[in-house]
Amino acid sequence: MPPEWSSSSPDLLLAIDRSSGRPLRSQLEHALRDAIRNGRLELGERLPSSRELARALGLSRGLVQECYAQLLAEGYLVTHPGSATRVAAGAATAPPATARLQTDAPRMLADFRCGVPDLRSFPVRDWTRAMREAASGMPTEEFDYGDPRGTRALREVLAGYLRRVRAAAADPDHIVVCNGYAQGVGLALRALADTGVRTVAFENPGSPATVAAAATAAGMRAVPVPVDEHGIDVRALAATEARAVLVTPAHQWPTGVALAPERRLALIEWARDRSAYILEDDYDAEFRYDREPVGVLQGLEPHRVIGLGTVSKSLAPALRIGWMVCPPDLAEPLAEQKLRSDRGTPGLDQHALARLIEPGRFDRHLRRMRATYAARRAALLAALSEHAPKVPVTGLAAGFHAVAHLPADTDEKHVIAAARARQVGLYGMSSCRASHTDTPAQLILGFGNVSERGIAAGIAAIGDLLTGRPKGTSPGWAGTKDLPAPPTPRTNGSHGGAPTAS
């Protein structure tokens, strides 16, 4: 689709060599033909007016008009009275098929991709209003590069919000705004590497690819530490050489367990005893259902915890805004790392986010989304109860994903491939394990960006794949032998049976 320019004449870069001895008109015709043939100028794209092109190239207008007339006669251009000159149909060479976007992919019945919020619910009106207020209210000097830590306005608003909602020990001077979670982790590890940290630990299952990439870039070694029903195993952590660890204590990614109180205290003691640092990803903390809110570790030990947060789940990943609540001794090194990385996160977007949070519009959006996700959570449990009642489900106490535990002899990859053939997107736990093993077979069912109707239709289409029974048989079918149910993590007193929230 060609670009639609404003009413002013579009610019066009063409090379004219006055020292070549070739006639200028011939050069111009050749340059325009090549631009059309090789796809630089697309079908229907508007060309500059003869007056504007003549001015830009230092040619006479009559010469440009003669060139346009010749290309019109050859069928490269087309024009109509009162309309601009445009590239004619069939004149441009189509780009290779491999370079085009694939638009003929089958429409998915349901895609249970995890980590994606409801994109349709992005508060467009509130964000547009906040951007307008930010653009009109920003001081002139703040259109410069500014403080690498981020705009003062956003850091003050974030500090107040995090103190109020997450019980954080947040000081605006110790907050560094970044471009989302991945950049925050990378900046933190590079700053810690400068202090002599050589090994970083991470939860297993967790985000091995993200941590490995950031650790490699920082010159560190990354080691996995197991997670059980109480969260990260602090004793196993202490057995490593790590002096930094990345954790998701409020809602562990991807198992969904909350770090037990005794583990929280043990983890803080580990950091103090080893002069180590905890990178706390406050993942999914805004969305909880069956439990009381849990404050951040950073509020208990602000000198040893780097608090990481973003709006990727609460608003949308496209905003690319996150933050680090830094220990006092790391605030300047992290700001320096940010400065070296990209000179700072876009200031106008930061001011807009501050304008969204400060008057309560962000809180209102979160309340609305909690209700939305709670309804989808209920729809997922109802669909699983109907179509796969023997499949235990955990990880639903917060956030917008669940973990389905498949029968012991299930091939996780086969289930995912078979579901894809039925236009249902499924995703396995194996990608979150450091070893990438697919046993035990588990699925991470994200429901943030799937409607209640889509959830019901998607689970109905794959119920037999989850239970190991042939399609068309009753939900209670167990085949020629009973498929043993996998061990069910303890979830609010539930020990198997119908899917239950955790």
Question: So what's the pLDDT on residue 99?
Answer: 47
Across 85-89, 132-136, 190-194, least confident range: 85-89
pLDDT exceeds cutoff 50 at 359: yes
Question: So what's the pLDDT on residue 81?
Answer: 81
As a whole number of angstroms, the distance between CA 231 and CA 260 comes to: 7
Contact 200, 215 (CB under 8 A): yes
Q: Phi then psi for 32, rounded to 5 degrees?
A: -70, -40
Place of tokens 């562990």: 252
Strand boundaries in 388-441, DSSP class E: 393-394, 401-405, 424-425
Comparing C-alpha atoms, which of 174, 178, 158, 155 is closest to residue 166? 158
Comparing C-alpha atoms, which of 267, 271, 284 is closest to residue 233? 267
pLDDT band (50, 70, 90) for residue 105: low
Give the domain CATH number at 77.
1.10.10.10
- Does residue 342 sit in the same domain as residue 291? yes
Instruction: Please compute the mean of the pLDDT values over residues 27-52 and round it to a whole number.
Output: 91
pLDDT exceeds cutoff 90 at 289: no
- Order the strands of the 401-405 sheet from edge to edge: 393-394, 401-405, 442-446
Question: So what's the pLDDT on residue 494?
Answer: 35
- Does residue 76 sit in the same domain as residue 143? no
As a whole number of angstroms, the distance between CA 453 and CA 263 comes to: 39
Instruction: Please compute the mean of the pLDDT values over residues 204-226 and round it to a whole number.
Output: 96
Tell me whether residue 441 is in a domain. Answer: no
Total domain count, the chain: 2
- Does residue 171 sit in the same domain as residue 237? yes
Boundaries of domain holding 34: 24-98
Instruction: Please compute the mean of the pLDDT values over residues 210-223 and round it to a whole number.
Output: 96
pLDDT exceeds cutoff 90 at 363: yes
CB atoms within 10 A of CB 24: 18
Give the domain CATH number at 182.
3.40.640.10
Highest mean pLDDT among 13-17, 27-31, 234-238: 234-238
Q: Is the dihedral of CA 116, 121, 125, 130 positive or negative?
A: negative
As a whole number of angstroms, the distance between CA 399 and CA 252 comes to: 10
Question: So what's the pLDDT on residue 207?
Answer: 94
As a whole number of angstroms, the distance between CA 311 and CA 292 comes to: 22
- Does residue 50 sit in the same domain as residue 179? no
Q: Give 481 or 332, the one with higher predicted confidence.
A: 332
Comparing C-alpha atoms, which of 339, 344, 398 is closest to residue 366? 398
- Does residue 285 sit in the same domain as residue 224? yes
Question: So what's the pLDDT on residue 39?
Answer: 87
Question: So what's the pLDDT on residue 94?
Answer: 56
pLDDT exceeds cutoff 80 at 93: no
As a whole number of angstroms, the distance between CA 179 and CA 323 comes to: 8
Q: Alpha helix locations (H) across 289-421?
A: 331-342, 347-357, 361-387, 412-421
Comparing C-alpha atoms, which of 278, 341, 282, 295 is closest to residue 150? 341
Tokens of residue 180, six digits: 């989302």
Q: What tens digit of pLDDT does each residue of 119-146 get?
A: 999 999 999 999 999 999 999 999 999 9
What are the CA-CA distances from residue 71 to residues 26, 90, 176, 238 (Å)? 11, 13, 57, 75
As a whole number of angstroms, the distance between CA 498 and CA 489 comes to: 14
- Does residue 43 sit in the same domain as residue 181? no
pLDDT exceeds cutoff 80 at 481: no
Paired with 262 in beta bridges are: none
Residues in the chain: 502
Instruction: Please compute the mean of the pLDDT values over residues 272-295 and round it to a whole number.
Output: 87
pLDDT mean across residues, the chain:
89
Comparing C-alpha atoms, which of 182, 215, 188 is closest to residue 330? 188
Peptide bond into 205 cis (omega under 30): yes
- Does residue 65 sit in the same domain as residue 206? no
Tell me whether residue 262 is in a domain. Answer: yes
- Does residue 126 sit in the same domain as residue 78? no
Instruction: Please compute the mean of the pLDDT values over residues 381-408 and round it to a whole number.
Output: 95
Q: Alpha helix locations (H) across 147-230?
A: 152-166, 181-194, 208-218
Instruction: Please compute the mean of the pLDDT values over residues 218-240 and round it to a whole number.
Output: 97
Parallel, antiparallel or unpaired: strands 231-232 and 424-425: unpaired
Question: So what's the pLDDT on residue 469?
Answer: 60
As a whole number of angstroms, the distance between CA 494 and CA 502 comes to: 9
Tell me whether residue 114 is in a domain. Answer: no
pLDDT band (50, 70, 90) for residue 319: very high
Global confidence as pTM:
0.82
- Does residue 90 sit in the same domain as residue 128? no
Instruction: Please compute the mean of the pLDDT values over residues 161-172 and round it to a whole number.
Output: 96
Q: What tens digit of pLDDT does each residue of 414-458 get?
A: 999 999 999 999 999 999 999 999 999 999 999 999 999 999 999
Contact 485, 390 (CB under 8 A): yes
Comparing C-alpha atoms, which of 422, 373, 421, 364 is closest to residue 397? 373
Which residue, of 306, 337, 363, is where some domain finishes? 363
Question: So what's the pLDDT on residue 163?
Answer: 96
pLDDT exceeds cutoff 60 at 6: no
Percentage of residues in the chain having pLDDT higher than 90: 79
Tell me whether residue 39 is in a domain. Answer: yes
Tell me whether residue 227 is in a domain. Answer: yes
